[in-house]
Amino acid sequence: MRLRDRFLLPLAGVCIVLVVWQATVVMYRLPLIVLPPPWDVALALAQLVDTYAFWRDVGVSLYEFASGYAIGVAFGVAIGLAIGESRTFRLAATPVVESLRFIVPFAWIPLTILWFGTSYTGKIALVAYAVFFVMVVSTARAIAAVDPTLSRVGTALGMGRLHLAWSVHLRAAAPTIASAARAAAAIGWVAVVAAEYIGASAGLGLMITNAASSLATPVVIAGMIVIGLVGAGVSALIGWLARLRLDYQ
């Protein structure tokens, strides 16, 4: 049962996708530049991982992501905490947050290119922006949802407001914040790739657009698969880190 549930069934799902893919190519006699069969993509992937340029592109994308993500999470949690703790701050910050958070990160891409060109900085700013709003909103909500008994207990034990915010509210909200951080990672990764598609001097997104303009469709699809795998890996890593620190339930 374990073998079936853990390996055979997931494998079956992947196989069905590959078969449908192969069948589509054969049935409609699609040329290589429209949709290459799975095997050609696998070959392209194998060639890619053998080049230095590929790993440099992966490195650049991950670097942009990690920097922007760290900045976005740090500021997002800090501002979210302040919104959750202080009525004054909440009233002042809410209109700003609410109006900006619906300007999706992608709407900023032209402006970031104007400001930062195709440098890493623009991508980092974009990821930080995307991650920031997810974290602000979910942190503020998580803080507001902390069991009020815990606040009363903290005050009765002699904690002042800051102490209470830091050691009780933030700590109690940590599991919720961690799952938001995991969701934010997916959004941040999407932002990196999207920004690189539009204007970049290096990175996975650029690699793919370059391959597309030279009609190397197998490389395009191989690159897309890499984006998926890296994204899933990053998300799993963050989930694992969260469990490592928060597994007390």
First to last CA, the chain: 29
Task: Please tell me the distance from the alpha carbon of residue 198 to that of residue 209, in angstroms, as a whole number.
Answer: 9
Under the criterion CB under 8 A, does residue 86 sit at the interface with other proteins? no
Is-contact 77 138, C-beta < 8 A? no
Under the criterion CB under 8 A, does residue 147 sit at the interface with other proteins? yes
Among 41, 44, 168, 177, binds other proteins (CB under 8 A): 168
Under the criterion CB under 8 A, does residue 13 sit at the interface with other proteins? no
3-class DSSP state of 146: coil
Nearest in space to 207 (alpha carbons), one of 228, 227, 185: 227
* CA atoms lying within 13 Å on the CB side of residue 118: 10
Which pair of tokens denotes residue 94?
Answer: 């809410």
Among 11, 157, 215, 237, binds other proteins (CB under 8 A): 157
**Element containing residue 164 per DSSP (H, E):** none
Task: Please tell me the distance from the alpha carbon of residue 41 to that of residue 142, in angstroms, as a whole number.
Answer: 44
Residues 43-82 that bind other proteins (CB under 8 A): none
Among 8, 158, 162, 244, binds other proteins (CB under 8 A): 158
Q: Which is nearer to other proteins, 33 or 153 (CB)?
A: 153
Under the criterion CB under 8 A, does residue 42 sit at the interface with other proteins? no
Nearest in space to 181 (alpha carbons), one of 87, 104, 249, 245: 245
Using the rule CB under 8 A, give the single segment among 61-69, 106-114, 135-143, 163-171 that binds other proteins.
Answer: 163-171
Under the criterion CB under 8 A, does residue 153 sit at the interface with other proteins? yes
Task: Please tell me the distance from the alpha carbon of residue 121 to that of residue 117, in angstroms, as a whole number.
Answer: 9
**DSSP state string for 78-130:** HHHHHHHH-HHHHHHHHHHHHHHHTS-GGGGHHHHHHHHTTSHHHHHHHHHHH
DSSP type of residue 200 = -
Q: Which is nearer to other proteins, 86 or 121 (CB)?
A: 86
Using the rule CB under 8 A, give the single segment among 45-53, 132-140, 144-152, 176-184 that binds other proteins.
Answer: 144-152
Residue count of the chain, please give it.
249
Among 171, 198, 209, 239, binds other proteins (CB under 8 A): 171
Site string for other proteins, 172-191 (x = CB under 8 A): x-x-----------------
Among 150, 183, 212, 225, binds other proteins (CB under 8 A): 150
3-class DSSP state of 207: helix
Among 4, 56, 163, 243, binds other proteins (CB under 8 A): 163
Under the criterion CB under 8 A, does residue 160 sit at the interface with other proteins? yes
Using the rule CB under 8 A, give the single segment among 60-68, 93-101, 145-153, 233-241 that binds other proteins.
Answer: 145-153
Under the criterion CB under 8 A, does residue 241 sit at the interface with other proteins? no
Q: Where does this chain bind other proteins (CB under 8 A)? A: 147, 149-150, 152-153, 155-160, 163, 167-168, 171-172, 174, 246, 248-249
